Amino acid sequence: MKINHSDYTILVVDDVMTNVLLLQVLLDKEGFNVVTANDGQAAIEIIRKDVPDLILLDINMPNMDGFEVIREVKKYSLYREIPVIFLTAMNDVDSIVKGFRLGGSDYITKPFNKEELMARIVHQLSLLAAKRIIVKRTHVLKKTILDRDKMYSVIAHDLRSPMASMMMIMNSIMHDVDKDKVDPSIYELLKLANKTTEDIFSLLDNLLKWTKLQIGKQLAIPQTVDLVPIVKGTTDVFMSVASIKNIKVEFHTDIESANVFSDIDMLKSCMRNLISNAIKFSYEGGLIKVEIKESDEEYIVSVSDNGCGISEVNQQKLLNVGTHYTSYGTAQEEGSGLGLLLTMEFVQKNNGRLWFESKEGVGSIFFFSLPKEITNQ
């Protein structure tokens, strides 16, 4: 990487004045800014006052030698990234090894070759320049992502409230309407409007939770909870939703209680997303099974369906932020894939695992596991 020498300041530290003057002349000629110190203590004071971009450091100096100087420099994060090149007459292996172990970037012995010295200085400053560019671009990228996620969060939050009201109105209409007294085509439109409203609300809810996760505002608040009533309760709620497509939802477990140390709201969200997906990708008259099993160390929740399944190509894209895709259910219900990504994040935040098995044309099974709560016997 090409650098502009005049943009960099080099600190020369040596107790021999002739060495200092020689290095100053050489570096000035190459266009570098140069500051000098005749002992270690003076060098530390200069560094604290005006941080240099690189240090050329002798070892044998009175009061505070070069090894003590680099120890002091590397103690503070502000100075830790400054490249230090030892320039010394000490050429024994122990000194060279010690210099690198203390954080030296390079080690040159006197007498030195001018071209070699300049090449090594430019190399270290090029690495420093590249690192600074990476840090700066990373900071800009993080800020861009943070701003984007905040914007998504605001949009989702502002839209969620009116959509919640609309969903309640549509649910009320569907509850009160007499199917036999309404034209069949009108009733089907009402059903479609109700389902669409619920889907949009679910998408906004997931988007809000997802963006909160990305900006660090969606924190897990774990507590001791019993998985059985949570999973069964969520399953019961979705039985009426599934009946719209004439889909049967069953809950099975041989476990009386399944205590885990997890965030209850995140668990409910995981169940809602998995069962909702199963309904979306099941055919009319299909069967969805929700089960809880256990191993020695964890409880395993599964949601299976005999729906359309997932192709092998799309299985590679699933649960991947960079490759998630829009898909359509058996009744052309649109899916963004956000619910599954959110479920994976929530499960992982509760020290669990999420995985799936699927075969196109046969159906899918999604699993998540949570560690059993450790109790003192």
Average pLDDT in the 322-338 region? 62
Residue 160 has a pLDDT of 64
Residue 212 has a pLDDT of 64
Residues 45, 109, 14, CA angle at the centre, nearest 5°? 25
Residue 172 has a pLDDT of 80
Top pLDDT among 42 and 156 is at 42
> What domains appear along the chain, each with residue ranges and CATH number?
5-112 (3.40.50.2300), 132-216 (1.10.287), 219-377 (3.30.565.10)
343-377 per-position pLDDT tens digit = 888 899 899 999 999 999 999 999 999 999 765 44
Q: In 3-state terms, what secondary structure has residue 311?
A: coil
CB 73, CB 52: distance < 8 Å? no
Average pLDDT in the 196-211 region? 68
19-46 per-position pLDDT tens digit = 999 999 999 999 999 999 999 999 999 9
Identify residue 358 by its one-letter amino acid code: S
Residue 290 has a pLDDT of 96
- Quote the CA–CA distance of 43 and 69 in Å, as a whole number: 8
Residue 73 has a pLDDT of 93
- Quote the CA–CA distance of 276 and 334 in Å, as a whole number: 12
**Picking from 4-13, 76-85, 266-275, 322-331, which range would have the lowest pLDDT averaged per residue?**
322-331
**Picking from 57-61, 203-207, 233-237, 363-367, which range would have the lowest pLDDT averaged per residue?**
203-207
**Picking from 103-107, 201-205, 223-227, 261-265, which range would have the lowest pLDDT averaged per residue?**
201-205
Residue 334 has a pLDDT of 57
pLDDT at residue 216 greater than cutoff 70: no
Query: Any residues with CB less than 8 A from the CB of 236 and at least 6 apart, and which?
Result: 251
Range with the largest mean pLDDT of 129-133, 237-241, 284-288: 284-288
Q: In what order do the strands lie in the sheet with 298-305?
A: 248-253, 287-294, 298-305, 363-371, 353-359
Residue 155 has a pLDDT of 62
% residues pLDDT > 70 (the chain): 83
CB 45, CB 69: distance < 8 Å? no
Top pLDDT among 95 and 237 is at 95
- Quote the CA–CA distance of 357 and 300 in Å, as a whole number: 14
Top pLDDT among 326 and 268 is at 268
- Angle (deg, nearest 10), helices 17-29 and 114-176: 60
- Quote the CA–CA distance of 61 and 265 in Å, as a whole number: 64
